[in-house]
């Protein structure tokens, strides 16, 4: 098992333990590994790997035991230590039962009908994932018109390569360099221009009508704070003009303009983290306005945390959950968050992290939980 990390992380994610100091720029994980070897491993010897919930509960509540207002925060051992073991136990449980991993996950969740997801391809990178001027972090395509996962991969790949041609023709070859998640990172500032580039690529590939658009705004990355209470669309510029700093209502108008602009070609069907992780009122207002037609995805807002998911359900702050297992730190808690969201009628999108590993666990997770959607970067990732 391998545990990923994220470049843009939510304030309310469970603690990712790092070593600090000079080695690896402070990002080493030797202390987390030590916690696995010296505390977790000896305590789990002899336990039944098929008992996922019991083992996760024991690690989280007994071996770690740290809590904050949002639940078990894994501050003692580190969510990255606990999750690595939780993933390994889940794989071992599948092996012990002699079933595929996706089937084991489905059984743990009580899901009788596992299914393949629609892939969401992040084909233009901005925000904290790229060195360009774009404030919004991910511009995605979802091939919802595909008849199979295989066809969806074909559509996504062809649009991606057509996009490279469009960007090369308009800005030159150096504009086709890629960001953290494999999407192109042309040095443009207009978020609307990114959408225009993708629509041209979809049309050139011959897939207009088969593809929908999605965005991960990651707006917590450019929120100016509670006192100023604006969103800085030129946040990479230390001398950003005031005209680029929008209050929440103006930012909502910008999103609504994008939705209206694309509705007859490649409609925007998904917007993730449109507002800051604590700007609950703006989330509630936006979901009430567009939630019938667009999935409003909670990532930094919900951080795969059942307590925050419940608050979002109760307040109608969003209508879809981004599932990132390392945000919460165990498979059981991840399943709990998904189950809760599904009961509320939410959509689910399984997600990688920008600091992803070669571990393919989330592919089985998406299938086993019938998440319906998965995003793992661009086709080149």
Query: Would you call 75 a catalytic residue per the annotation?
Result: no
Query: Would you call 181 a catalytic residue per the annotation?
Result: yes
Q: What radius of gyration do the chain's Cα atoms show?
A: 21
Distance between CA atoms of residues 370 and 362, nearest Å: 12
CA neighbor of 369 nearest in space, from 2, 93, 110: 110
217 to 43, 160, 296, 351, 375: CA distances (angstroms): 42, 20, 11, 15, 14
Catalytic residue, chosen from 13, 16, 138, 181, is 181
End-to-end CA distance of the chain: 19
Query: Using CA atoms in the order 23, 28, 31, 35, what is the torsion angle rounded to 10 degrees?
Result: -160
CA neighbor of 194 nearest in space, from 263, 270, 119, 262: 262
Distance between CA atoms of residues 60 and 75, nearest Å: 10
Q: Helix 79-97 vs helix 361-368: angle between axes, to the nearest 10 degrees?
A: 70
Distance between CA atoms of residues 362 and 350, nearest Å: 7
CA neighbor of 96 nearest in space, from 59, 51, 36: 51
Distance between CA atoms of residues 188 and 102, nearest Å: 40
Catalytic residue, chosen from 324, 333, 356, 375, is 324
The residues carrying an active-site annotation are: 181, 324
């Amino acid at each position: 098992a391998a545990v990923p990390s994220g470049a843009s992380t939510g304030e309310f994610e469970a603690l990712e333990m790092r070593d600090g100091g000079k080695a690896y720029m402070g990002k080493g994980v030797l202390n987390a590994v030590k916690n696995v070897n010296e505390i977790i491993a000896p305590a789990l010897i002899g336990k039944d790997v098929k008992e996922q919930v019991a083992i996760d509960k024991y690690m989280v509540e007994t071996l770690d035991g740290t809590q904050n207002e949002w639940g078990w925060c894994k501050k003692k051992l580190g969510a990255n230590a606990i999750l690595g073991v939780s993933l390994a136990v889940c794989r071992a449980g599948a092996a012990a039962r002699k079933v595929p991993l996706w089937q084991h996950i489905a059984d743990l969740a009580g899901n009788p009908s596992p299914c393949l997801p629609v892939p969401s391809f992040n084909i233009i990178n901005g925000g904290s994932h790229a060195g360009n001027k774009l404030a919004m972090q991910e511009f995605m395509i979802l091939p919802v018109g595909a008849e199979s996962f295989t066809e969806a991969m074909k559509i996504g790949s062809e649009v991606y390569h057509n996009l490279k041609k469009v960007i090369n023709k308009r800005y030159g070859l150096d504009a086709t360099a890629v960001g953290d998640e494999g999407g192109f990172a042309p040095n443009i500032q207009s978020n609307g221009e990114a959408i225009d580039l993708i629509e041209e690529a979809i049309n050139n590939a011959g897939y207009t009508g088969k593809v929908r658009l999605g965005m991960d705004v990651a707006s917590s990355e450019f929120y100016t704070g509670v006192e100023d209470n604006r969103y800085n669309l030129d946040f990479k510029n230390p001398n950003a003009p005031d005209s680029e700093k929008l209050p929440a209502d103006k930012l909502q108008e910008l999103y609504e303009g994008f939705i209206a602009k694309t509705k007859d070609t490649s409609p925007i069907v998904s917007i993730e983290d449109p507002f800051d992780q604590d700007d609950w009122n703006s989330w509630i207002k936006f979901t009430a306005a567009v939630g019938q037609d667009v999935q409003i995805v909670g990532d930094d807002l919900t951080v795969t945390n059942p307590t925050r998911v419940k608050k979002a359900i109760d307040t109608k702050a969003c209508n879809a959950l981004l599932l990132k297992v390392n945000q919460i730190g165990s498979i059981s808690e991840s399943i709990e968050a998904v189950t809760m969201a599904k009961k509320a009628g939410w959509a689910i999108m399984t997600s990688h992290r920008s600091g992803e590993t070669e571990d393919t666990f989330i592919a089985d997770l998406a299938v086993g939980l019938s998440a319906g959607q998965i995003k793992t970067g661009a086709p080149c990732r």
